[in-house]
Each structure stands twice: as structure tokens, then as C-alpha cells.
Amino acid sequence: SQTIHQWPATLVQPVGSPLSLECTVEGTSNPNLYWYRQAAGRGLQLLFYSVGIGQISSEVPQNLSASRPQDRQFILSSKKLLLSDSGFYLCAWSVLGSSRETQYFGPGTRLLVL
């Protein structure tokens, strides 16, 4: 069965510090991968998605970047964190590439920027 991992689970970082969040998927090949952010009391905001190694699409301009160095690895980064980067970061995967494509979420990373 498929499993998705995210780490760390929680993170407290000072403003201006760098960020690296990692997501890995097991049990599937060639997944589509996604990064979402959920601010407190807000909906899910799609940040990046990737349909293959090295292929990254950005949904909104921001202080963040993403990379996919391996088929089942997706990394979210920032060179300098802002207060507004605080939130719950969720990685998701999907397969199938059709209208029935279904997303499954990882456990998430809660980031607090102080």
C-alpha cells in the first residue's frame, strides 16, 4: 500500500531563516506530488505541483520554492522565512492522470515563524 511521509512534524523558525521540508511517497511510481499550505482558519492553498522529476509548477508567487530531485521525493524550501509563511504545510500525492484523479495527504508539517 502507498504511504506518504513528511518531516519534520513541527518546526519553529525565526524570521529570515531558511526552510526545508521534505515529503516522500512509498508504494507507488511516478506520482503527481503537491504542496499545500493551510493557514489558521483558512482553506487549502495549492503552492506547487509536480508531474515528474524536475517538473515543478507554481500556483502563486511567494517566498517559497519546490524541487523534485527523485521520483518520490518533493522538497519545499525558502531562503528567508517571513512571518506570513506560518501555517500547516501538507504534501499530497495522486496517480491516474484522469478526471478521477484522487489526492491523498501526508501528515503535514506545522510551521511557526517568529
Q: Quick one: 7 or 79, whose CB is closer to another protein?
A: 7
Q: 14, 61, 83, 100: which one contacts another protein (CB under 8 A)?
A: 100
- Residue 97 engages another protein in binding (rule: CB under 8 A): yes
Q: Give the cell for residue 53.
A: 522529476
The site that binds another protein (CB under 8 A) totals a number of residues, namely 21
- Residue 95 engages another protein in binding (rule: CB under 8 A): no
Q: Quick one: 10 or 17, whose CB is closer to another protein?
A: 10
* Contacts to another protein from residues 29-68, by CB under 8 A: 34, 42-44, 46, 49
- Exposed/middle/buried for 94, CB within 10 Å: 0-12, 13-18, 19+? middle
**Rounded Cα–Cα distance for residues 60 and 77 (Å):** 15
Q: 22, 65, 71, 105: which one contacts another protein (CB under 8 A)?
A: 105
